[in-house]
Copies of this chain bind each other. A is one copy, B any other.
Amino acid sequence: MGLTRTQNFTVSLDGFATGEGQSLEAPFGHADPSRLMQWAMQTRSFARTHGQVNATGTTGIDDVYASSFDHGIGAEIMGRHKFTYERGPWSDPDWRGWWGDNPPFHTPVFVLTHYPREPIEMEGGTTFHFIDATPAEALAQAKEAAGELDVRIGGGPSVVRDFLAEGLIDIAHIVLAPVLLGRGVRVWDGLESLEERYDIEPTSSPSGVVHLTLTRKP
C-alpha cells in the first residue's frame, strides 16, 4: 500500500505558501515564485527537466529533493487554487489551468472544488478530475487511482493544512525559504501541538532553505 506524501512544498519563514491577491497573471499573488522556489529552480535537475541537456546547477540536497518529485507517485490531490485563480462557478470551459499542455504531474490529479465538472485529459499522462469531497473521501479516490504507488498532497497551503490537521499525511516534506512574504495564506494555522503527532526533522541547505520532514508517529 502506498503512502500519502507532500513533497517540495515551499513556505516562507513567516509561514505563507501563497501571497495575497492571486489572479490569472499572478498564481502566487504578490509573492514572487522565483524567490520562493529559487532553491529548486537553481538545481541541475530543474534545468534538465526544462530541456537543458548539459545542464549546470546545484547538485546537493536541494537537487535530490527536486529530482525525486515524481518518484513513486501515482496520483495527486490539489486545491482548486492550484489549478485556477477563479472562485465560484467555472466561467471559461476552454481554459485548462495554469500548468500548460503537458503538466508536470503525469498522473491523475484530483482537484478539490465545490463545482465539479468533467475531467480534462492533458498530454503526458495528467488527467484533472474535479471532485467535491472531504479530505478523507478524496484520499480514498486518489489511493484507488494510485494503486501501489504513493499519493501526493500537492497544496496549496489550506489543503496541506487540512490534510495535516486530520492526520492523513504520512510524510510531509516542507521547505522553509529564507523569505518573508508578510501576507497571504498560512500553512501552519490551526495545527497547534502538531509535534505531538508528527516527528519534525530539519535539515539546512547551503542555499539557505531548511528541508523539514514531518513523519506521522506510529
| Chain A interface residues toward B at CB < 8 A | 13-15, 176, 178-183, 186, 188-195, 200-205, 208-210, 212
Contact = CB atoms under 8 A, between A and B. Distances in A.
B13 A200 contact: yes
Nearest to A205: B202
Nearest to A211: B204
Chain A interface mostly: loop
B202 A14 contact: no
A192 to B, nearest CB: 3
A48 B191 CA distance: 35
Contact of A14 (B180, B191, B208): B191
Contact of A188 (B13, B178, B204): B13
B210 A210 contact: yes
B200 A202 contact: no
A180 B176 contact: no
A217 to B, nearest CB: 13
A191 B202 contact: no
Given A182-B193, A191-B180, A208 B201 contact: yes
Given A204-B202, A210-B204, A14 B178 contact: no
Contacts of A210: 176, 202, 204, 210
A194 B208 contact: no
A57 to B, nearest CB: 21
